Structure 1
Amino acid sequence: MIGERKSERAATSQLCAKAITVAIALSIGMVTSAISGDLVQERQYLRVNIGGKDVRLEALFVKRADARGRLPIVFFNHGRPAYREMTLDQSLTVNDPGINLLADMARRGWLAVAIHRRGYGLSDGPAQADSSCAADAFMAWMNADADDIEASIGVVAKRPDADPTRMIAVGGSAGGAASVALGARNLPGLAAVVNIAGGEHWAGCAAVRESIPVDFRNLGARSHTPNLWLFAKNDLNHPPDQIEVMRSSFAGAGADLKLVLLEPIGEDGHTGMYSIVGRTQWLVELDSFLRAHNLPTWPISNVDVVLQKLQWPQSLRAYVQAYLAAPGEKALARTPGKQNASYQSALTLDDARKLALDACQRKGEPCVIVMEDDRWTGSL
């Protein structure tokens, strides 16, 4: 990013540089495997054409193991690493903090897709060059990344398990900015854009600072796609005053935008958005946004189902709803026949089980696991 401080960029790269890219044609090297019991992942390479050149791109697809038919598609678009030479070090791993949103979305009924852009991970290159400090540099970079996402839609839409009439683009950091640019193209079937801590970074570049209101005003004037923007108040890349400039310019030009400013997350809310604490905060906002636009997420009726299985009163409804909305991997432990319970989220299901049991048993009573992610595992 233009003028981005190296320490911030290094931290950002560990969490935000993960996947989505381009194309038109043929997939090769497909590998399908189970993950987390309830999900399956598929790794493959896509043979695509970008700007008249054939490129091989690394891709990861995640969906529920019991999914049938055509699924709505969520494209996850990654950010940029701190240093250009780090692009080859990126990997597509579901349990990585920067990409485990794929599992969260797959459990909400989506075909979750991540594709490494050119030059990242095992994809062919080269990666896009760093932008210079110029008024048009950032917008050109955002549009180039949006070109990659748009091209990828054509290939994924041809899958027998994909429904191209129901798509959303989700991006983190630089990928969030690219997703906003994509949304301004009003592609058929693109129902929403979710921008997680993404925008133009102005530190050290006065030209970019001056171009931000112009760029976002132009994007907002063209965009007819509903946008959800999620930022933490302590985002070191995008302080509140810059977020307000982007918001007012984009929405003021007529765009459909909901901005959510979350309470501070860790030392840097920019990188903290992908932590379990961060996802716990904003997944609730995402669910609300999806429901408001008649897009899939977990059914609210599941709260009553779980309450009935636990034999708990309606007064504990908020607790159950918080569990169902929480990021995975997660587990719920309870003392049989009592209202003593605890749930925990972790990077692995084994860790989530252990943490939930330890927390539940602090009162000195035996506990058992009754839910793993969104699956009931207890006795009826």
Structure 2
Amino acid sequence: MAIEQELQLDYRLNEHIVLIPAGPDHQAMMETTVFTPNGPGPFPLLIINHGKDPGRPDQQPRDRFYHMAHAFVARGYAVIVPMRQGFASSTGRYRDHGCDMTANGYTQASDILDALNYAREQPWVDPQRIVIAGQSYGGLATIALGTQQLPGVRGLLNFAGGLRDEECSWQRELVSAYANYGANARIPSLWMYGANDSLFGPELATRMHDAYLLAGGQGKLVEYGAFKRDSHGMLASRDGEKVWLGETEEFLKQVGMPTKVLYNVPEPPQPPKTDYAKVDDVDAVPFLTDNGRRAYRDYLTKLTPRAFAVSPTGAWTWAEEGEDPEGRALATCSAKSSKPCHLYSIDDYVVWNDGKLDQADKAALTASVTPAVDSNAKGAVGGTVGKSAN
């Protein structure tokens, strides 16, 4: 199972984790993130469904879709993000049907249905006002789920939905899967795909959507322009709200879901800017070897949000885009260092504060001592944008 360096929970959104029973005998438990407004509810509900990272599903970290959750909680929604069987710290087995994309979608949809049934029973959920969203593999599964009778579910949101398998003609299989779902569709949907999606580009998105409509499905396709380096990660980006919010609000109004902002939910606090140095002053970054300074120059070319962390041992990490680059940079740097890592830069400014160092480290800093070992810890690079599988 995936092991998180530190359990990240935001009290501003009443974020907590529950375990939802899943599977035919409900023996598996899905690690599920819950966000709610203040108060007892019942609240309208958004369920957000994740994609699949490269590699083993049980090594995939917990998805939060923090920025989308933040926007919906501000509008009075409860939000749940279930990690399906075999993903992250959820138990059960990840079930893969290879090139049978239709079956893959239906199998993952069964876990979403378990999460939906759980949510309907909670006193803080309004069972008559529910919308279900999915990104990448989660989008495919969300549209597959829409073939069932789902009382209270008003609409489906498909963000870059699909799945790849290089061992077969996966594009053709995806088109066939969406035709199958369209023939049995029961719920209106909104589809959003970007011009520079590295997995499911405009031509394929149009083919999938056309197949869905021709078979009888109801769904609007929004093909937006290029988003940063790869629009596939748009939903998890801090800046993605500028792309998805307007179209999503219009769709929510059409299906009778609320869109008015009801709560002022503060963003998480950021470390303050310091006067230590200018962000592009590479020589000012402490503790780095020549290799580390090359890495910092590379970091300065990355997209925001971004963060760079350093340690007195010479360890360093940068992370860009996705959720919480600051936390990812610190966690990966700390895994490579025998001493604590600290943030040096966030976005376009320096946050370095040498007051956090102990006396030995301050002496090393003052003397400009450069450790002989350079721990390259770029494992956090890319964030959700780097999730290039599905």
TM-score, with structure 1 as normaliser: 0.64
Q: Which amino acid aligns with 1:252?
A: L
What is aligned with 1:107?
74
Any idea what the Cα deviations from partners look like across 1:208-253, whole Å, max 9, x if unmatched? 3333333222211211211001111111101111111111111122
What is aligned with 2:276?
none
Any idea what the Cα deviations from partners look like across 1:245-281, whole Å, max 9, x if unmatched? 1111111222221111111011211123421222221
What is aligned with 2:160?
197
Deviation at 1:104, TM superposition (A): 1.9
Match of 1:233 among 195, 203, 227: 195
Deviation at 1:99, TM superposition (A): 4.1
> Given the alignment of the two structures, is residue 148 of structure 1 paired with residue 111 of structure 2, yes or no?
yes
Any idea what the Cα deviations from partners look like across 1:313-366, whole Å, max 9, x if unmatched? xxxxxxxxxxx9x996699xxxxxxxxxxxx99978x9xxxx9xx9xxxxxxxx
What is aligned with 1:314?
none
1:207-218 matches, within 5 Å, as 208-218=170-180
Distance 2:205 2:231 in 1: 13
Which secondary structure does the structure 1 equivalent of 2:236 belong to?
Answer: coil
Which secondary structure does the structure 1 equivalent of 2:248 belong to?
Answer: helix
Deviation at 1:146, TM superposition (A): 0.4
What is aligned with 1:72?
44
What is aligned with 1:373?
none
Deviation at 1:111, TM superposition (A): 0.9
Distance 2:137 2:22 in 1: 23
Which secondary structure does the structure 2 equivalent of 1:185 belong to?
Answer: coil
Distance 1:280 1:245 in 2: 26
Deviation at 1:201, TM superposition (A): 3.5
Distance 2:268 2:213 in 1: 35
What is aligned with 2:379?
none
Contact 1:183 / 1:190 at 8 angstroms: preserved in 2? no
Deviation at 1:80, TM superposition (A): 0.7
Q: For structure 1, which runs of at least 5 residues remain unmatched after alignment?
A: 1-32, 303-323, 332-343, 359-380
- Flag the structure with higher strand content: 1
Indicate how the Cα distance of structure 1 residues 140 and 99 shifts in structure 2: closer, same or farther if over 3 A, else same: farther
1:175-194 matches, within 5 Å, as 175-194=138-157
Q: Which amino acid aligns with 1:143?
A: Y
What is aligned with 2:226?
264
Match of 1:162 among 125, 129, 140: 125
Match of 1:82 among 46, 54, 60: 54
Which secondary structure does the structure 1 equivalent of 2:73 belong to?
Answer: helix
What is aligned with 1:309?
none
Match of 1:35 among 2, 10, 19: 10
Indicate how the Cα distance of structure 1 residues 327 and 142 shifts in structure 2: closer, same or farther if over 3 A, else same: farther
1:1-380 matches, within 5 Å, as 35=10, 37=12, 39-46=13-20, 48-65=21-38, 67-84=39-56, 86-92=57-63, 94=64, 98-129=65-96, 131-133=97-99, 137-201=100-164, 205-206=168-169, 208-298=170-260
Distance 2:59 2:228 in 1: 28
Indicate how the Cα distance of structure 1 residues 276 and 256 shifts in structure 2: closer, same or farther if over 3 A, else same: same
Q: For structure 2, which runs of at least 5 residues remain unmatched after alignment?
A: 1-7, 271-303, 307-322, 327-345, 350-390
Contact 2:140 / 2:158 at 8 angstroms: preserved in 1? yes
Q: Which amino acid aligns with 1:45?
A: L
TM-score, with structure 2 as normaliser: 0.63
Contact 1:104 / 1:328 at 8 angstroms: preserved in 2? no
Aligned length: 275
Which secondary structure does the structure 2 equivalent of 1:277 belong to?
Answer: coil
Deviation at 1:293, TM superposition (A): 1.9
Contact 2:67 / 2:241 at 8 angstroms: preserved in 1? no
Deviation at 1:61, TM superposition (A): 1.1
What is aligned with 2:336?
none
Which secondary structure does the structure 1 equivalent of 2:239 belong to?
Answer: helix
Contact 1:328 / 1:345 at 8 angstroms: preserved in 2? no
Contact 1:72 / 1:164 at 8 angstroms: preserved in 2? yes
Indicate how the Cα distance of structure 1 residues 262 and 70 shifts in structure 2: closer, same or farther if over 3 A, else same: same
Distance 2:123 2:73 in 1: 16
Q: Which amino acid aligns with 2:188?
A: P
